Amino acid sequence: MSSTINRKSGNGSCWALAEGALNKAGATWDGGYEFGLLVDTATDCIYPGDIIQFEGVEIRYSKNGSRYEEHMEHHTAIIYKVIGKGNYELAHQNFGRNNKKVILSPLELKNITRGRIFIYRPTQ
């Protein structure tokens, strides 16, 4: 995965990053937006490589005295690093100003103010 950071994966869509990773790993998935076994963020451990699907999500947070707001109506990302429970670093593309290149960005589930997320564990 680290070899794709700052590069375009597939056609540059957010979904293409997950597609490439799943296919490279030989994972079994539906070819759509169900990327494996659905896991529960409240009870299951989340691991790097798990795939997160955002649906109608709004995130609000403050950092260094500034307020931020992000919207992800329909977006796919990969958990790149688990920092703690509900606190992750994501790898994704077609997001923010970096457009079609894979970037890393933080996500704290507590900052989600609207919408739903689904986290999938790839299976073989």
Q: What CATH number is associated with residue 49?
A: 3.90.1720
Q: Is 26 helix (H, G, I), strand (E, B) or coil?
A: coil
Pairwise CA distance, residues 121 & 49, whole Å = 7
According to the model, what pLDDT value does residue 33 have?
79
What is the tally of structural domains in the chain? Answer: 1
pLDDT band at 98 (very low <50, low <70, confident <90, very high): low
pLDDT tens across 5-45, in order?
999 999 999 999 999 999 888 898 887 778 899 999 889 99
Pairwise CA distance, residues 100 & 112, whole Å = 24
Residue by residue, DSSP assigns 48-68 as TT-EEEEEEEEEEEEETTEEE
Structural domain for 22, as ranges: 2-121
If one compares 32 and 69, the residue with the highest pLDDT of the two is 69
**Average of per-residue pLDDT values in the chain:** 92
